[in-house]
Amino acid sequence: MTDTFAVIIAGVLGAMIGSFLNVCIYRLPREKSVVWPASACPHCGRSLAWFENIPILGYIALGGHCRTCHGAIGIQYPIVEALTALMFGGAAWYFGLGILLVSRLLFGCALIVLFAIDLEHHILPNVITLSGIVAGFIFSFFTEPGWEASLIGIVVGGGVLWAVAEAYYRVRHEDGLGMGDVKMLAMIGAFLGWKLTMMTLALGSVSGSIIGVLLTVTKRGDMKYALPFGTFLAMGAAAAATVGPGLLTWYTALW
């Protein structure tokens, strides 16, 4: 149990990092640098003043519109900042201060960026997934899940989805899953180990299928509408990383 002050500090740090995640979410799919230039209004290109860059409060102060051109600022900006702040505060409280917290927060940031980019652009950038595999494996030498479980997680996570993608392609002669999904599940395996990765795959597939069926039934899309699987994997991984270990204990106790 972390003290309240540390949780608050973590939350404030999270809001600031959420602001950087917004930059990644906007610029990575457009193949722009995430460090330069400074943030600008996407409509008129004016560089933002320091107070406009304050997470969440900047959006509220501006009423969701650019001061110069009055173009709308997407609601996703304060949502990502608030979500990241909650994640940092929640994780600091849940995991306590230590190397596991750093590992889980880095993983969580990668999931938020992949979730948002896959939802809008249907891509999962290598710079996140491949770097994530390396980072997760390095962390596993110092904290959960241990390097053996991490290595198996990378191979099994990537391997299972690769096999599914290959089988789907042979049968349907079209791409059902992208290599981005394969690399993303390998990254999840690196951070969480193979057990929680299988849980992530199950949670992601079930939630994806339910949403897919709902979209078909309500005629908002047909089965061929490619649901961004990475978005569901991100939600599944977030659930597995938090309630997963408890679920595993409960499940093994049943037998």
Q: How far is CA 73 from the centre of its chain?
A: 22
Which is closer to Zn ion, CB of 68 or CB of 209? Answer: 68
Q: What is the DSSP letter of 42?
A: T
Q: How near is the Cβ of 66 to Zn ion at its closest, in Å?
A: 3
Helices (H) and strands (E) in the chain, counts: 8, 0
Q: Identify the three-state secondary structure at position 193.
A: helix
Q: Report the nearest approach of Zn ion to the CB of residue 37 (Å).
A: 15
Closer residue to Zn ion, CB minimum distance, 4 or 68: 68
Which residue type sits at 2?
T
Residue nearer to Zn ion on the CB measure, 39 or 242? 39
Nearer to Zn ion, 54 or 227 (CB): 54
Q: How far is the CB of 26 from Zn ion (least distance, A)?
A: 14
Q: Which is nearer to Zn ion, 45 or 246 (CB)?
A: 45
**Least distance in Å: CB of 50 to Zn ion?**
16
DSSP lists the bridge partners of residue 72 as 65
Tell me, what DSSP letter sits at residue 106? H
Binding site for Zn ion (CB under 5 A): 41, 43-44, 66, 68-69, 71
- Name residues whose C-beta falls within 8 Å of residue 157's C-beta, 6 or more positions apart in sequence: 185, 186, 187, 188, 189, 190, 194, 197, 201
Nearest approach, Cβ of residue 140 and Zn ion (Å): 44
> Using CA atoms, how far apart are residues 221 and 27, in angstroms rounded to an integer?
28
